[in-house]
Structure 1
């Protein structure tokens, strides 16, 4: 687990590769499952996970979820986040 003081600073979106982003998403997902919702660790994991999602438009994400008929995996989210960050069409990101 990343120290609470460095958790947010450690996430430098413009420098993350897809594999690094996926690793971060998986780590925070695991922490959210591991810790009780009333703990500081859970709150920090949620905050960091949500920060990773910042480049992605919520409407685009919801539209994709509706079209797929299931939640997005972290691997799919990583592709979408990077596409949004880089100004690319997020709907094409899952096809490529």
Structure 2
């Protein structure tokens, strides 16, 4: 009897796993942010492609343009995780 293959990860699961891996490895890479790692960029690329495919599947106009934009991968990298060294100052209004 043939075994069935194990279930595949969903887009969301893959993205989450890659982002977690990026956050784990980034502290070991001097000055490289999590979103700049191979795992971080891969997570964003998968997210962008999944979004484009969903929009195309839902009948978005100009599907070829959506596909081209996703394949180019030129969107700015989105930060991963929460900011660690952020200082927020409350400004008082001048009188």
Quickly name the TM-score band, shorter chain normalised: 0.3 to 0.5
TM-score by structure 1 length?
0.34
Report which of the two structures shows the higher radius of gyration computed on alpha carbons: 2
TM-score (norm 2): 0.34
Q: Which has the higher helix share?
A: 1
